[in-house]
A and B are shown apart, each in its own frame.
Chain A
Amino acid sequence: TQLLEQSPQFLSIQEGENLTVYCNSSSVFSSLQWYRQEPGEGPVLLVTVVTGGEVKKLKRLTFQFGDARKDSSLHITAAQPGDTGLYLCAGAPRRGSSYKLIFGSGTRLLVRP
Protein backbone atom coordinates (compact mmCIF):
# COMPACT_ATOMS: atom_id res chain seq x y z
CA THR A 1 0.00 0.00 0.00
CA GLN A 2 1.38 3.38 -1.00
CA LEU A 3 1.37 5.97 1.76
CA LEU A 4 2.05 9.68 1.87
CA GLU A 5 3.21 11.22 5.13
CA GLN A 6 2.89 14.93 5.68
CA SER A 7 4.74 17.03 8.20
CA PRO A 8 4.14 18.94 10.26
CA GLN A 9 0.55 18.05 11.08
CA PHE A 10 -0.12 21.49 12.50
CA LEU A 11 1.64 24.82 12.06
CA SER A 12 0.83 28.13 13.71
CA ILE A 13 2.90 31.09 12.57
CA GLN A 14 2.87 34.86 12.57
CA GLU A 15 1.99 36.82 9.45
CA GLY A 16 5.10 37.48 7.36
CA GLU A 17 6.96 34.33 8.35
CA ASN A 18 8.08 31.64 5.91
CA LEU A 19 7.18 27.97 6.19
CA THR A 20 7.70 24.64 4.48
CA VAL A 21 5.40 21.64 4.45
CA TYR A 22 6.74 18.23 3.51
CA CYS A 23 5.13 15.24 1.84
CA ASN A 24 7.12 12.00 1.86
CA SER A 25 6.70 8.45 0.66
CA SER A 26 8.77 5.32 0.11
CA SER A 27 6.88 4.80 -3.16
CA VAL A 28 7.22 6.45 -6.54
CA PHE A 29 4.30 8.49 -7.85
CA SER A 30 3.67 9.43 -11.47
CA SER A 31 2.50 12.87 -10.37
CA LEU A 32 1.81 14.71 -7.17
CA GLN A 33 -0.73 17.37 -6.40
CA TRP A 34 -1.27 19.89 -3.65
CA TYR A 35 -4.75 20.90 -2.55
CA ARG A 36 -5.99 23.48 -0.06
CA GLN A 37 -9.16 22.93 1.90
CA GLU A 38 -11.11 25.49 3.90
CA PRO A 39 -13.66 24.61 6.61
CA GLY A 40 -16.95 23.30 5.23
CA GLU A 41 -15.62 23.03 1.70
CA GLY A 42 -14.00 20.44 -0.52
CA PRO A 43 -10.29 20.55 -1.41
CA VAL A 44 -9.26 22.81 -4.28
CA LEU A 45 -6.29 22.02 -6.50
CA LEU A 46 -3.28 24.34 -6.19
CA VAL A 47 -0.74 22.64 -8.42
CA THR A 48 0.28 19.40 -10.13
CA VAL A 49 3.94 18.38 -10.48
CA VAL A 50 4.85 15.61 -12.85
CA THR A 51 8.58 15.58 -13.54
CA GLY A 52 11.21 14.64 -10.97
CA GLY A 53 12.96 17.80 -9.75
CA GLU A 54 10.21 20.02 -11.08
CA VAL A 55 9.63 23.36 -9.34
CA LYS A 56 6.45 25.37 -9.77
CA LYS A 57 5.62 28.76 -8.34
CA LEU A 58 2.20 30.15 -7.61
CA LYS A 59 2.65 33.71 -6.33
CA ARG A 60 4.18 33.24 -2.83
CA LEU A 61 3.88 29.43 -2.96
CA THR A 62 6.70 27.28 -4.31
CA PHE A 63 6.18 23.58 -4.96
CA GLN A 64 8.92 21.05 -5.61
CA PHE A 65 8.78 17.42 -6.70
CA GLY A 66 11.69 15.28 -5.54
CA ASP A 67 14.14 13.94 -8.10
CA ALA A 68 13.02 10.37 -7.43
CA ARG A 69 9.32 11.36 -7.45
CA LYS A 70 8.84 10.06 -3.91
CA ASP A 71 8.51 13.35 -2.09
CA SER A 72 7.38 16.93 -2.45
CA SER A 73 7.49 20.19 -0.55
CA LEU A 74 5.41 23.33 -0.37
CA HIS A 75 7.13 26.55 0.68
CA ILE A 76 5.17 29.68 1.50
CA THR A 77 7.00 33.00 1.62
CA ALA A 78 5.70 35.82 3.80
CA ALA A 79 2.58 33.97 4.90
CA GLN A 80 -0.68 35.88 5.14
CA PRO A 81 -3.86 35.13 7.14
CA GLY A 82 -5.54 34.22 3.85
CA ASP A 83 -3.14 31.26 3.59
CA THR A 84 -4.81 29.64 6.62
CA GLY A 85 -6.27 26.26 5.77
CA LEU A 86 -5.64 22.54 5.46
CA TYR A 87 -2.98 21.64 2.90
CA LEU A 88 -3.15 18.17 1.39
CA CYS A 89 -0.69 16.44 -0.86
CA ALA A 90 -1.99 13.68 -3.12
CA GLY A 91 -0.19 11.25 -5.39
CA ALA A 92 -1.24 9.38 -8.49
CA PRO A 93 0.18 5.83 -8.31
CA ARG A 94 0.36 5.44 -12.08
CA ARG A 95 0.13 7.76 -15.04
CA GLY A 96 -3.50 8.46 -15.81
CA SER A 97 -4.73 7.21 -12.44
CA SER A 98 -5.43 10.59 -10.92
CA TYR A 99 -9.08 9.72 -10.39
CA LYS A 100 -7.95 7.52 -7.49
CA LEU A 101 -5.41 9.65 -5.72
CA ILE A 102 -3.67 8.72 -2.49
CA PHE A 103 -3.85 11.57 -0.01
CA GLY A 104 -1.56 12.55 2.81
CA SER A 105 -3.02 13.25 6.25
CA GLY A 106 -2.77 17.00 5.79
CA THR A 107 -1.06 19.99 7.37
CA ARG A 108 -3.29 22.46 9.15
CA LEU A 109 -1.84 25.97 8.82
CA LEU A 110 -2.87 28.93 10.95
CA VAL A 111 -1.42 32.31 10.09
CA ARG A 112 -1.97 34.83 12.89
CA PRO A 113 -2.31 38.54 12.00
Chain B
Amino acid sequence: NAGVTQTPKFQVLKTGQSMTLQCAQDMNHEYMSWYRQDPGMGLRLIHYSVGAGITDQGEVPNGYNVSRSTTEDFPLRLLSAAPSQTSVYFCASSYRSGTGRATGELFFGEGSRLTVL
Protein backbone atom coordinates (compact mmCIF):
# COMPACT_ATOMS: atom_id res chain seq x y z
CA ASN B 1 0.00 0.00 0.00
CA ALA B 2 1.77 3.15 -1.22
CA GLY B 3 -0.47 5.82 0.39
CA VAL B 4 1.30 9.20 0.20
CA THR B 5 4.69 9.14 -1.51
CA GLN B 6 7.18 11.99 -1.27
CA THR B 7 10.37 12.46 -3.26
CA PRO B 8 13.16 13.16 -2.71
CA LYS B 9 13.67 12.11 0.92
CA PHE B 10 16.78 14.25 1.27
CA GLN B 11 17.99 17.30 -0.67
CA VAL B 12 20.73 19.87 -0.23
CA LEU B 13 20.43 23.17 -2.11
CA LYS B 14 22.46 26.32 -2.37
CA THR B 15 20.83 29.66 -1.67
CA GLY B 16 18.98 30.88 -4.74
CA GLN B 17 18.47 27.49 -6.35
CA SER B 18 15.00 26.26 -7.19
CA MET B 19 13.55 22.80 -6.84
CA THR B 20 10.32 20.85 -6.67
CA LEU B 21 9.27 18.45 -3.92
CA GLN B 22 7.02 15.79 -5.36
CA CYS B 23 3.96 14.35 -3.63
CA ALA B 24 1.67 11.65 -4.98
CA GLN B 25 -1.21 9.77 -3.36
CA ASP B 26 -2.99 6.71 -4.67
CA MET B 27 -6.05 6.84 -2.40
CA ASN B 28 -8.15 9.15 -4.58
CA HIS B 29 -8.28 11.72 -1.79
CA GLU B 30 -9.76 15.12 -2.60
CA TYR B 31 -7.72 17.14 -0.13
CA MET B 32 -3.95 17.56 -0.09
CA SER B 33 -1.71 19.76 2.03
CA TRP B 34 1.92 20.69 2.50
CA TYR B 35 3.35 21.29 5.97
CA ARG B 36 6.81 22.15 7.19
CA GLN B 37 8.13 20.91 10.52
CA ASP B 38 10.76 22.83 12.43
CA PRO B 39 12.14 22.01 15.89
CA GLY B 40 9.87 23.24 18.67
CA MET B 41 7.27 24.59 16.24
CA GLY B 42 5.13 21.61 15.31
CA LEU B 43 3.81 21.51 11.75
CA ARG B 44 2.86 24.67 9.90
CA LEU B 45 0.60 24.70 6.85
CA ILE B 46 2.19 26.04 3.66
CA HIS B 47 -0.44 25.44 0.95
CA TYR B 48 -3.43 23.20 0.54
CA SER B 49 -5.80 22.00 -2.16
CA VAL B 50 -9.45 20.94 -1.95
CA GLY B 51 -9.44 19.36 -5.39
CA ALA B 52 -7.81 19.34 -8.80
CA GLY B 53 -7.30 22.86 -10.07
CA ILE B 54 -7.98 24.48 -6.67
CA THR B 55 -5.22 25.62 -4.31
CA ASP B 56 -4.98 28.11 -1.47
CA GLN B 57 -2.42 29.54 0.92
CA GLY B 58 -1.83 28.33 4.43
CA GLU B 59 -0.01 29.94 7.31
CA VAL B 60 3.48 30.22 5.76
CA PRO B 61 3.14 30.36 1.94
CA ASN B 62 5.87 32.87 1.06
CA GLY B 63 8.61 31.43 -1.15
CA TYR B 64 6.55 28.42 -2.22
CA ASN B 65 4.25 27.65 -5.14
CA VAL B 66 1.90 24.74 -5.67
CA SER B 67 -0.35 23.41 -8.40
CA ARG B 68 -2.86 20.57 -8.56
CA SER B 69 -3.42 19.47 -12.13
CA THR B 70 -4.51 15.95 -11.12
CA THR B 71 -6.13 14.43 -8.03
CA GLU B 72 -3.03 12.32 -7.41
CA ASP B 73 -0.21 14.88 -7.53
CA PHE B 74 0.53 17.99 -5.49
CA PRO B 75 4.08 19.29 -6.09
CA LEU B 76 5.64 22.01 -3.95
CA ARG B 77 8.01 24.40 -5.71
CA LEU B 78 10.70 26.45 -4.01
CA LEU B 79 11.31 29.41 -6.28
CA SER B 80 14.60 30.70 -4.85
CA ALA B 81 15.76 28.70 -1.86
CA ALA B 82 16.79 30.50 1.32
CA PRO B 83 18.43 29.11 4.49
CA SER B 84 15.15 29.85 6.35
CA GLN B 85 13.53 27.14 4.22
CA THR B 86 15.74 24.46 5.76
CA SER B 87 13.13 22.14 7.23
CA VAL B 88 11.37 18.80 6.98
CA TYR B 89 8.44 18.97 4.58
CA PHE B 90 5.40 16.75 4.86
CA CYS B 91 2.68 16.18 2.32
CA ALA B 92 -0.68 14.95 3.58
CA SER B 93 -4.00 13.93 2.08
CA SER B 94 -7.50 13.44 3.39
CA TYR B 95 -10.86 12.52 1.96
CA ARG B 96 -14.41 13.77 1.92
CA SER B 97 -16.94 11.82 3.91
CA GLY B 98 -20.50 11.06 2.91
CA THR B 99 -21.55 14.34 4.51
CA GLY B 100 -19.44 16.21 1.97
CA ARG B 101 -16.92 17.44 4.53
CA ALA B 102 -13.34 16.42 5.17
CA THR B 103 -13.26 13.41 7.47
CA GLY B 104 -10.60 14.69 9.80
CA GLU B 105 -7.80 12.19 9.32
CA LEU B 106 -4.65 13.34 7.58
CA PHE B 107 -2.51 10.69 5.91
CA PHE B 108 1.11 11.82 5.82
CA GLY B 109 4.05 10.94 3.66
CA GLU B 110 7.41 10.10 5.21
CA GLY B 111 8.76 13.60 4.72
CA SER B 112 11.43 15.34 2.66
CA ARG B 113 14.39 16.78 4.56
CA LEU B 114 15.69 19.92 2.86
CA THR B 115 18.88 21.77 3.74
CA VAL B 116 19.62 25.13 2.16
CA LEU B 117 23.23 26.29 2.46
Residues of A within 8 A of B (CB): 1, 4, 6, 9, 31, 33, 35, 40-45, 48, 88, 90, 92, 95-106
Contacts and interface: CB of A to CB of B under 8 A. Distances in A.
14 contacts: A1-B59, A4-B42, A6-B42, A43-B108, A44-B108, A45-B106, A90-B43, A92-B104, A96-B100, A98-B104, A98-B105, A99-B94, A100-B33, A105-B42
Interface in B63-105: 90, 92, 94, 99-105
A32 B99 CA distance: 19
Given A9-B40, A102-B45, 15 more contacts: A42-B92, A42-B109, A43-B90, A43-B108, A44-B108, A92-B104, A96-B99, A98-B103, A99-B48, A99-B102, A99-B106, A100-B48, A100-B58, A103-B42, A106-B42
Contacts of A44: 108
Contacts of B102: 96-99
A50 B92 CA distance: 21
B41 A105 contact: yes
A100 B103 contact: no
B111 A40 contact: yes
A1 B58 CA distance: 12
Interface of B: 4, 31-33, 35, 40-45, 48, 50, 58-59, 90, 92, 94, 99-106, 108-111
A94 to B, nearest CB: 10
Task: Choose among B43, B92, B108 the residue with the greatest number of A CB atoms under 10 Å from its CB.
Answer: B43
Contacts of A88: 42-43
A88 B100 CA distance: 26
B45 A42 contact: no
B43 A98 contact: no
A48 B104 contact: yes
